[in-house]
C-alpha cells in the first residue's frame, strides 16, 4: 500500500517567481557561442553516484588537516595542530557541515533559477544551454547532500543567502536573474569551490569539487557570454538597474551581517565542543601575523568579490564609475578606508575558466 503524500511537505517554503515565459519560433541557431557551450555541457555530463568514489568515505585525518575558516588557514596554526585529533575532526566536520550546507542550499537556488531561465530567455540556444544547467544543478544538490550526510547533518540556510536567492527568483527579467545567479552567486561559488578544491587533501571532497567546479565554470561562462552579447544595446536606465542589482547581490553576501552569521556559527561549534570561544580568539590572535603573511603569499587577500565578481562585471560591461564608487564604500565599511583605497580591481577573466579551475593548486 502506498502512503499519500501531503499536499505541501512541512519542509517547503514558497517564493513568488517573477517572469514571463517566452516561446521562440525560430529554431535555427542564433547565438553561436551559446550553442557551443550547450554542446560542451552535453559532452561533459557525469553521474553523481557512478562517477565519484563514494565507497572510500571521508578520510577524517586529511579532512581535519586541510580545514580552513573562510580563507583563514587555521590548520596551519600551532593551536590547531596541538588539539586532540578527535576534537579536530569534530570541529572541522561540524564547521564544514555549516559551510557545505549553505553551498547545498545555494545549489538548490541555482536549480530553481536555471529552470526559470529556460522559460525566461528569448533565444533558443540560450534555452538549450539553461536546460543543461538545470541538470547540472540537480546533480550538485545531490552530491552536496550526500557528502554532508557522511560528515554531519544539514544546517539551515544563512539569512543573507536566502534573501539573495529570493531576490533573484522574484526578479522579473532574465538579465536580472543571470546577473544575480550566473555572475554574482556562481562567480562567488566558483571562486570558493576552486579555493577549497585546491586546498583540501581529502580525496572524495577533492573529486567532488573538481567535478562541480568544472560545471560552475560553464555556468559563469554562460552569464558572461550571453550578457556581453546584450549589454551594449541597453539604454542607460536599464544598464544602471542591472548594475545596482549586481551590487546589491554582492552586498547581501559580504556585508558585515553576512560575516557575523558565519562567525557566530563557528563560535557555536567551538562552544558545543567544550572550547571557550574567547580563549580561541586569543590563541589565534597570537598567530595572526604569521597567518597574514601566509595569506599574502597565497594571494588570499583578493576575496571572491574583488578578485572575481568585479572582473566579471567589468567583462560584461556592468561596472561603471558610479558602481565602482558603491563597491569601494562597501569595502571601506567592512575592511576599513585604507584597504578599500588600495584595492585594485583586475580586468578580465581567464579565457578558459574550466582550465583555470585546476590551475593554481
Least Å distance between CB 139 and Fe ion? Answer: 8
Instruction: Using CB atoms within 10 Å of the CB of residue 181, give its burial: 0 to 12 exposed, 13 to 18 middle, 19+ buried.
Output: buried
Least Å distance between CB 249 and Fe ion? Answer: 15
Which residues between 213 and 272 bind Fe ion (CB under 5 A)? 216, 219
CB 214 within 8 A of CB 136: no
Least Å distance between CB 335 and Fe ion? Answer: 28
Which residues between 138 and 157 bind Fe ion (CB under 5 A)? 140
Instruction: Give whichever of 91 and 188 is closer to Fe ion, judged by the CB atom.
Output: 188
Nearest-angstrom CA–CA distance, 88 and 269: 11
DSSP three-state, residue 72: strand
CB 184 within 8 A of CB 33: no
Report how far Cα 303 is from the mean position of its chain's Cα atoms: 12
Instruction: Give whichever of 88 and 140 is closer to Fe ion, judged by the CB atom.
Output: 140
Q: Kindly determine how many residues on this chain lie close enough to bind Fe ion according to the rule CB under 5 A.
A: 7
Which residues between 293 and 312 bind Fe ion (CB under 5 A)? none
* Nearest in space to 247 (alpha carbons), one of 172, 329, 190, 173: 329
347-350, long-range: CB within 8 Å, 24+ apart, which pairs?
347/311, 347/314, 348/311, 348/314, 348/315, 349/220, 349/224, 349/308, 349/311, 349/312, 349/315
Instruction: Give whichever of 204 and 221 is closer to Fe ion, judged by the CB atom.
Output: 221
Instruction: Give whichever of 161 and 280 is closer to Fe ion, judged by the CB atom.
Output: 161
Least Å distance between CB 48 and Fe ion? Answer: 12
Instruction: Give whichever of 90 and 219 is closer to Fe ion, judged by the CB atom.
Output: 219
Least Å distance between CB 235 and Fe ion? Answer: 30
Least Å distance between CB 358 and Fe ion? Answer: 17
DSSP three-state, residue 248: helix
Instruction: Give whichever of 280 and 313 is closer to Fe ion, judged by the CB atom.
Output: 313
Least Å distance between CB 186 and Fe ion? Answer: 5
* Binding piece for Fe ion, criterion CB under 5 A, among 31-39, 117-125, 136-144, 288-296: 136-144
DSSP three-state, residue 157: coil
Site string for Fe ion, 169-208 (x = CB under 5 A): -----------------x----------------------
Task: Specify which residues 72 forms β-bridges with.
Answer: 69
Least Å distance between CB 133 and Fe ion? Answer: 6
What are the φ and ψ backbone dihedral angles of 71, each rounded to 5 degrees? 90, -15
* Nearest in space to 219 (alpha carbons), one of 298, 332, 124, 139: 139
Instruction: Give whichever of 74 and 110 is closer to Fe ion, judged by the CB atom.
Output: 110
Which residues between 201 and 220 bind Fe ion (CB under 5 A)? 216, 219
Instruction: Give whichever of 113 and 313 is closer to Fe ion, judged by the CB atom.
Output: 113
Q: Does residue 110 bind Fe ion (CB under 5 A)?
A: yes
Least Å distance between CB 103 and Fe ion? Answer: 8
* Binding piece for Fe ion, criterion CB under 5 A, among 101-109, 155-163, 201-209, 282-290: 101-109
Nearest-angstrom CA–CA distance, 164 and 295: 28
CB 44 within 8 A of CB 141: no
Nearest-angstrom CA–CA distance, 321 and 319: 7
* Binding piece for Fe ion, criterion CB under 5 A, among 36-44, 51-59, 137-145, 328-336: 137-145
Q: What is the DSSP letter of 306?
A: I
Measured torsion, CA atoms of residues 233, 234, 236, 242, in degrees rounded to the nearest 10: -140
**Number of neighbouring beta carbons within 10 Å of residue 169:** 19
Instruction: Give whichever of 183 and 323 is closer to Fe ion, judged by the CB atom.
Output: 183
CB 188 within 8 A of CB 306: no
Given the rule CB under 5 A, which residues bind Fe ion?
107, 110, 137, 140, 186, 216, 219
Amino acid at each position: 500500500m502506498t502512503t499519500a503524500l501531503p499536499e505541501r511537505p512541512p519542509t517547503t517554503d514558497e517564493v513568488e517567481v517573477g517572469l514571463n515565459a517566452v516561446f521562440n519560433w525560430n529554431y535555427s541557431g542564433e547565438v553561436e557561442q551559446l550553442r557551443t557551450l550547450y554542446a560542451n555541457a552535453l559532452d561533459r555530463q557525469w553521474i553523481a553516484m557512478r562517477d565519484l568514489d563514494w565507497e572510500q568515505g571521508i578520510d577524517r585525518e586529511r579532512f581535519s588537516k586541510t580545514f580552513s575558516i573562510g580563507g583563514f588557514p587555521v590548520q596551519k596554526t600551532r593551536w590547531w595542530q596541538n588539539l586532540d585529533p578527535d576534537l579536530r575532526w569534530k570541529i572541522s566536520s561540524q564547521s564544514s557541515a555549516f559551510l557545505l550546507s549553505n553551498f547545498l542550499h545555494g545549489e538548490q537556488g541555482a536549480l530553481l533559477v536555471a529552470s526559470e531561465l529556460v522559460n525566461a530567455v528569448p533565444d533558443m540556444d540560450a534555452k538549450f544551454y539553461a536546460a543543461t544547467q538545470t541538470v547540472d544543478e540537480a546533480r550538485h544538490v545531490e552530491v552536496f547532500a550526500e557528502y554532508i550526510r557522511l560528515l554531519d547533518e544539514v544546517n539551515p540556510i544563512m539569512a543573507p543567502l536566502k534573501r539573495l536567492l529570493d531576490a533573484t527568483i522574484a526578479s522579473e527579467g532574465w538579465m536580472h536573474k543571470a546577473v544575480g545567479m550566473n555572475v554574482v552567486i556562481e562567480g562567488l561559488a566558483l571562486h570558493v569551490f576552486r579555493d577549497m578544491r585546491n586546498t583540501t587533501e581529502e580525496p572524495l571532497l577533492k573529486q567532488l569539487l573538481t567535478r562541480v567546479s568544472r560545471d560552475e565554470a560553464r555556468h559563469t561562462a554562460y552569464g558572461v557570454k550571453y550578457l556581453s552579447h546584450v549589454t551594449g544595446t541597453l539604454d542607460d536606465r536599464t544598464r544602471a538597474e542591472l548594475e545596482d542589482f549586481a551590487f546589491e547581490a554582492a552586498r547581501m553576501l559580504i556585508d558585515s551581517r553576512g560575516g557575523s552569521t558565519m562567525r557566530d556559527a563557528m563560535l557555536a561549534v567551538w562552544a558545543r565542543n567544550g572550547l571557550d570561544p574567547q580563549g580561541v580568539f586569543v590563541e589565534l590572535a597570537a598567530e595572526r601575523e604569521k597567518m597574514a603573511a601566509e595569506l599574502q603569499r597565497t594571494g588570499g587577500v583578493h576575496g571572491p568579490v574583488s578578485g572575481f565578481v568585479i572582473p566579471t562585471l567589468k567583462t560584461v560591461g556592468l561596472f561603471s564609475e558610479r558602481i565602482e564608487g558603491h563597491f569601494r564604500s562597501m569595502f571601506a565599511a567592512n575592511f576599513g578606508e585604507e584597504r578599500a583605497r588600495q584595492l585594485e580591481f583586475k580586468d578580465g577573466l581567464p579565457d578558459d575558466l574550466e582550465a583555470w579551475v585546476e590551475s593554481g593548486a
